[in-house]
A = this chain, B = another copy of it.
Amino acid sequence: MAMRKFLNDPEQLVKEALVGVELAHSDLLRFDRENQLLISKSAPRQGKVALISGGGSGHEPLHGGFVGVGMLDAACAGEVFTSPVPDQMLAATKAVDGGAGVVHIVKNYTGDVLNFKMAADEAADEGIKVEAVVMDDDVAVQDSLYTAGRRGVGATVLAEKIAGAAAARGDDLAAVAGIVRHVNERARSFGIALSSCTPPASGKPIFDLPEGEMEVGIGIHGEPGRRRAPLGTASEIAELMVEAVISDLKPASGANLLVFLNGMGGTPQIELYLMFAEVEARLSKAGYKTTRSLVGSYITSLEMAGASLTVLELSDATTALWDAPVNTPALRWGV
């Protein structure tokens, strides 16, 4: 089984990688081996609403890279492209609850939604207040291979940052959950893949995409999107992405936007910044103001070549929460 990967035993990959995350970021978090969780060293904090998320591995830095201060309190890591189990989510919820309740940020995939629901019910039985918010910002398809309704993608990163800041300043459970919902409602995403990727356990590409073609509206597990098309220029692809996102989001005229141009893992920065410039030119021409931006590979699909665009319509309140201090392995400012 020949792959272009640094790997020992595929079955041990997630655990071995999380050991590395703990070693590199021991000031911020610890690795709970038994439950396969990354937990903030500052959790639990009495009286602070806690935030947890989780999902399949292979999307790093999502979610473990966002555990620390001012963002997530814990992240549950499933195996590659596989939902974590309810016991993990329950253990995370119990580990971080400081008495003010726990928000579950759940990407809309059937397994994640079901498992987080079971964990929330069990936590409630044990007296912990939980509010779950399901993210579904991907406008590419209505239903998909692993989803009823729209998929949850890039807006998850933004919700974790913005709601994490709200929790840090002392907002209560309903308010923090409300902010996650608000971000989900005012954000939309759309992705394009230029290549497939190969999960280590199978050693086989998850789909076949010949060079010179692109998958328009790809999901983060390689779920098919709207259509397959000949590879366009960066300019044509930016047009597609902006059209898909803006026509669905319908921001107010002249709105302030947070533009998140995300790499899927295998696309170099030089191409991401080229795409950001193309996207920005179109948004600016349409009268919008990009007042905040994020360019880089933050929600990935292993080594997939591709990019996704997430646009969030900002208010003064969400802008201030975005700017608030954050200290995590993957996002850090103000500290």
Contact = CB atoms under 8 A, between A and B. Distances in A.
Contact of A7 (B18, B271, B335): B271
A61 interface: yes
A305 interface: yes
Interface stretch (A8-16, A92-100, A127-135): A8-16
Interface string A58-70: 1011000100000
A20 B295 contact: yes
Contacts of A16: 234, 274, 277-278
A4 interface: yes
Q: Tell me how many chains of this kind the complex includes.
A: 2
A84 B4 CA distance: 32
A270 B60 contact: yes
A240 to B, nearest CB: 12
Contact of A24 (B276, B300, B303): B276
Interface in A294-320: 295, 300, 302-303, 305, 307
B333 A23 contact: no
Scoring A8, A60, A334 by chain B CB atoms within 10 A of each residue's CB, the highest score goes to A8
A2 B276 contact: no
Interface in A259-279: 265-278
A274 B2 contact: no
A34 interface: no
Contact of A273 (B21, B302, B303): B21
B211 A293 contact: no
Contacts of A335: 333-334
Scoring A16, A24, A266, A273 by chain B CB atoms within 10 A of each residue's CB, the highest score goes to A273
Interface residues of A, number: 59
Contact of A277 (B17, B268, B272): B17
Contacts of A82: none
Contacts of A237: 6
A3 B194 CA distance: 9
Interface of A: 2-8, 13-14, 16-21, 23-24, 57-58, 60-61, 65, 80, 194-195, 211-212, 231, 233-235, 237, 265-278, 280, 290, 293, 295, 300, 302-303, 305, 307, 332-335
The 10 lowest CB-CB distance pairs between A and B, nearest first, are A2-B212, A20-B273, A20-B277, A60-B269, A20-B276, A4-B194, A6-B271, A17-B273, A2-B211, A19-B277
28 contacts: A2-B211, A4-B194, A4-B211, A4-B305, A5-B305, A6-B234, A6-B274, A6-B307, A7-B271, A7-B274, A8-B233, A14-B270, A16-B277, A16-B278, A17-B271, A19-B273, A20-B274, A20-B280, A21-B273, A24-B273, A24-B276, A57-B270, A58-B268, A61-B269, A266-B268, A266-B303, A268-B303, A333-B335
